[in-house]
Amino acid sequence: MSNRVEIRIDDHVAEVMLNRPDKLNAVDTDMFQALDEAARSLEGEKSVRAVVLHGAGENFCAGIDIASMQGTEDLSAALVEPMAGSPANIFQRAAYAWRELPVPVICALQGVVFGAGLQIAIGADLRYAAPGSQFSIMESKWGLIPDMAISTTLRDILPPDRVKELAWTARVFDAAQALQWGMITAIEDDPLAAAREMARVVCSRSPDAVRGIKRLVNEAWQRSEKDSLALEAQLQLRVLGAPNQAEAVRANLEKRAPDFID
């Protein structure tokens, strides 16, 4: 993995940092590859129960580094070819990989969250933003459409007319507006500290239940009522009576911190 993305794992929490602060963490071809590799490495880490995603420096991500993408080889094959084990191509994986991870992904946002940066953030489960953060679906400014899995990750958040308006105009909006629309979870003076605290809370719950909740919400909202109810029952059966569920009950009755297995 290149140094475009750094990973640190401590006490069941993986911190993933976009690491190109001199370019406002703009995404180039190396970072696309590094984000895919980072997500794949975390899929194999059974001890990881939550992920905190953030950018180095004072910004989350300014979007695609257009200059670095000029002169690259024909992108048509990469656009139509899904990555191994995923329905997403290499560009979509930068955002969609966080949705595919079975554990919660909590994003800390500050500075600019433009274009590709916004799409990466929307791929996370929760988003905490600093008051001065600025957001934009900016691709139309460059004659492009937003194509980093936004058709799947944003559809449960914004109505179609709002998405069209924001994508057509590429206008910049602030954290207060993003919160009003439901694009962020909360405004925090220190979003990284808030994300880390939420990760600690998540890690105090049964990892089986946490993973089940993520899958339930991500999948059931797009199913028929019959299939959604069936999925609820199936996921409950998987955790009911399992060691971590039994430990959650014992810990509550004994008024102590639980000791879950990975």
Give the model's pLDDT for residue 9. Answer: 98
Residues 114 and 196 occupy one common structural domain: yes
Residues 211 and 184 occupy one common structural domain: no
Asked if residue 177 lies in contact with residue 166, where contact means CB atoms within 8 angstroms, the answer is no
Q: Which residue type is seen at 146?
A: P
Task: List, for residues 86-115, the tens digit of each pLDDT value.
Answer: 999 999 999 999 999 999 999 999 999 999
Strand order in the sheet with 134-136: 112-114, 134-136, 173-174
Residues 194 and 219 occupy one common structural domain: no
131 found inside a domain? yes
pTM: 0.95
Residues 107 and 170 occupy one common structural domain: yes
Give the model's pLDDT for residue 68. Answer: 74
Residues 219 and 158 occupy one common structural domain: no
Asked if residue 51 lies in contact with residue 16, where contact means CB atoms within 8 angstroms, the answer is yes
160 found inside a domain? yes
Q: Which structural domain range is residue 228 located in?
A: 206-253
Task: Categorize the per-residue pLDDT at 180 as very low, low, confident or very high, splitting at 50, 70 and 90.
Answer: very high
Q: Which is nearest to 184 in space by CA: 115, 121, 139, 105? A: 121
Residues 80 and 98 occupy one common structural domain: yes
CATH number, domain with residue 145? 3.90.226.10
CATH number, domain with residue 232? 1.10.12
186 found inside a domain? yes
Residues 31 and 155 occupy one common structural domain: yes
47 found inside a domain? yes
Residues 239 and 172 occupy one common structural domain: no
Give the model's pLDDT for residue 170. Answer: 98
259 found inside a domain? no
Give the model's pLDDT for residue 1. Answer: 57
Task: List, for residues 181-191, the tens digit of each pLDDT value.
Answer: 999 999 999 99
- Tally of domains in the chain: 2
pLDDT at 73 over 70: no
Residues 210 and 168 occupy one common structural domain: no
171 found inside a domain? yes
Residues 190 and 63 occupy one common structural domain: yes
Residues 153 and 43 occupy one common structural domain: yes
Q: Which of 159, 178, 202 is the last residue of a domain?
A: 202
Tokens representing residue 109 in the block: 């946002």
The percent of residues in the chain predicted with pLDDT above 70, rounded, is: 97
104 found inside a domain? yes
Asked if residue 106 lies in contact with residue 126, where contact means CB atoms within 8 angstroms, the answer is yes
Cα–Cα distance for residue pair 192/19, rounded to 1 Å: 15
Residues 99 and 161 occupy one common structural domain: yes
Cβ burial of 85 (10 Å; 0-12, 13-18, 19+) is exposed
258 found inside a domain? no
Which runs of E-coded beta strand occur in 32-104? Answer: 50-55
